Structure 1
């Protein structure tokens, strides 16, 4: 399965991406994590040591235009061997190219690279988790047109929910089979009710809920993955339940 995680800035995309990836890898699934954010943070959320060199971006020279879009010029396994960084529990981490300098232009080539890599990472036994940036540019460019599911992360307030609604409409124009919403940072039953009501009103598939926890921030400050932070156990349990629900919707269990 190729799973992209999207939503408004600060909704918790990176933390959730890392948590799902780590849980799946611990369960025996082969996992590739793709940091598709030009401001990358997935390596830290996965628990890579600060001394670990960041993954080098796959160069645009490995991508060629062809009928139907861009494509890799080399086998994707060779690209992983050359450009992925080894993470915890056997996870391999790839990164999108980021801006090195101000005023240097758009990231069109980086988007083409991500799209090409995702197209070729279609092995059914592999879980690919894509941590997207907050901008809808991945959708307007069709960068994630080859994923199997998009998980939209919503906080229980209007602007976050509206972002999810707009993104869902864009995803619907791509050949992506599954779009689902997860409610994150819930502080009360009323928060859950608000997200569920919004999803029902806009015909969005609701797939799970994650509670608010101060432990998530504490883990982040300590540069420790949430799955390794005992005080965040309720968040980890909720993420596992979410993944199981998403697996039922897609027909592809994220955890073996």
Structure 2
């Protein structure tokens, strides 16, 4: 199962991505976390430091094919050469970012992520979590066309919801099988109601609600993953329920 996580900057994508990845690994799944943001922060959210996680995917892992970019070797080769082992057995891959000002676009870096996702396939016993940048670019480029589900994270305020409203139709044009909204940082019942009304009006499925939780900010300030700092916090519990829901939905029924 390949999970993309998108939304406006600051809505909590990286915290949710890191927590989902570690919970998936704890459940026994082979888990790959991909930081697809040119300003990477997923390593820290997982519990890795900059020294051990500074190996972005080189453009040499990709070749151009008629059907789009593809890996020059196997996914296992890429993971072995460029993956970083993280807590709970998560393997981190990072998209390359600019090394210098004035370098130009990051087309090749996006191609590496797209090729990895395509070659991974919809393998049931492998969970891939992609922390996307706060931009529609990975949808307009088709970088994440091969995710199986796209989680659109939103806070209950206008600009955040507008971002979801713009991203959802782009995802639909890529024929992503499932698109769901994560209502994050809810402070009241009325905010939850507003999110529900928004989803209904735009024919979107709200998959989970995560309450506002001071523990998230405290963990970030301390540079500690939420699961390590306060594993029983309300936010961690809500993300745990989402992880169970996604795992159950991806399990074939006998």
User: Which TM class, normalised by the smaller chain length?
Assistant: over 0.9
CA shift, 1:84, in A, is 0.4
SS in 2 for 1:135: coil
Aligned twin of 2:136: 136
Q: Check conservation: 1:156, 1:195, Cα contact below 8 A.
A: yes
CA shift, 1:241, in A, is 1.3
| Distance in 2 separating the partners of 1:2 and 1:76 | 14
Aligned twin of 2:52: 53
1:34-49 counterparts in 2 under 5 A?
A: 34-49=34-49
Aligned twin of 1:74: 73
Q: Check conservation: 1:139, 1:171, Cα contact below 8 A.
A: yes
CA shift, 1:175, in A, is 2.6
Aligned twin of 2:101: 102
How many residue pairs match? The answer is 250
| Distance in 2 separating the partners of 1:83 and 1:55 | 10
Aligned twin of 1:158: 158
**Residues 1:129 and 1:68: Cα distance change in structure 2 (over 3 Å):** same
1:228 and 2:251 matched = no
CA shift, 1:229, in A, is 1.8
1:182 and 2:182 matched = yes
| Distance in 1 separating the partners of 2:181 and 2:70 | 30
| Distance in 2 separating the partners of 1:216 and 1:241 | 17
Query: With structure 1 as the length reference, what TM-score do the two structures score?
Result: 0.94
| Distance in 1 separating the partners of 2:238 and 2:200 | 21
Instruction: Give unmatched runs, 5+ long, in structure 1.
Output: none
**Residues 1:231 and 1:145: Cα distance change in structure 2 (over 3 Å):** closer
**CA offsets 1:100-158 (integer angstroms, 9 cap, x no match):** 11111000000111000111112321000000000110000000011111000010011
| Distance in 1 separating the partners of 2:231 and 2:78 | 38
CA shift, 1:170, in A, is 0.3
CA shift, 1:245, in A, is 3.0
SS in 2 for 1:161: helix
Over 2 Å off, 4+ runs: 52-55, 243-248
| Distance in 2 separating the partners of 1:233 and 1:13 | 17
SS in 1 for 2:101: coil
| Distance in 1 separating the partners of 2:232 and 2:191 | 19
Instruction: Give unmatched runs, 5+ long, in structure 2.
Output: none
